[in-house]
Amino acid sequence: MKADLERVKIFADAWKPEQVLSWAFANYGENVALATGMGIEGMVLTDMAWRINPDLKVFTGDTEFLFPETYDLMDRVEEKYGIKIERLYSELTPEDQARRYGPRLWTRDPDRCCNIRKVVPLRRKLANLDAWITAIRRSQTSERAGIRKIDWDPKFDLIKMCPLADWSRQMVWNYALKHNVPYNSLHDRNYPSIGCTHCTRAVQLGEDARAGRWSGFPKTECGLHTAEPVEPLVQLSAAGDD
């Protein structure tokens, strides 16, 4: 497959998102799923994918620190499309995490907190798939500037697809409004990018769309789409916690 992939990934960069999605479902069937953080890009991609394959599998990382508006959106998406969004949880409850690493870890070591609550659960999920689809775009962050629409994901060892890689934010919103795609009401209140309550604020006029994420830290990514290795969790039992 890797030899074919070298050819496909070159052709695929000229494909429309729907072509990438069709290729994904034709080639990976039950073994591909769409990951979304419930942002507008993920909602647009869910809508597109559902029109091609109404039985698509969708999952999201539930850090247990999400906004009520995000949980409300999950309910609305499930109802509109008749799908069940699988929620990935950390092995550590927020209370376990506070006991193990101290209170408010996100204020001291957000990389570790994201690793525990997002990256490790994602790795567990991806271990059971052959391919995953994400809604990231090249213009979102400098780390995403080089993404391909179809590529090998060396971090998680499976095919990764980014059908919206070359879309602009405006194109995403044009699609969303044209197709009446459900979206997080926080987007209408100056939250262009939404993560956990502890690490997301509204942006001011003229700020970058992701300026409200991990404000005060140099961090711009949660670690799902970067090259850093996944840090293993310290087992609670081995550490003597109850």
Sign of the four-CA dihedral 220, 215, 43, 173: negative
β-strand partners of 200: 213
SS3 44: helix
The rounded distance, in Å, linking the Cα atoms of 95 and 155 is 29
The answer to whether 222 is a known catalytic residue is yes
Residue for token pair 């711009």: 220
Site for ligand SF4 in 98-117 (CB under 6 A): 106, 110, 113-114, 117
The rounded distance, in Å, linking the Cα atoms of 122 and 60 is 9
Closest CA to 224 of 164, 147, 139: 147
Least separation in angstroms between residue 96's CB and ligand SF4 is 14
Is residue 119 at the binding interface for ligand SF4, with CB under 6 A as the rule? Answer: no
Site for ligand SF4 in 204-223 (CB under 6 A): 222
Interface pattern 42-71 for ligand SF4 (x via CB under 6 A): ---------------------x-x------
Is residue 196 at the binding interface for ligand SF4, with CB under 6 A as the rule? Answer: yes
Least separation in angstroms between residue 45's CB and ligand SF4 is 21
The catalytic residue positions are 222
Which stretches of the chain bind ligand SF4, using CB under 6 A? 63, 65, 106, 110, 113-114, 117-118, 195-196, 198-199, 222
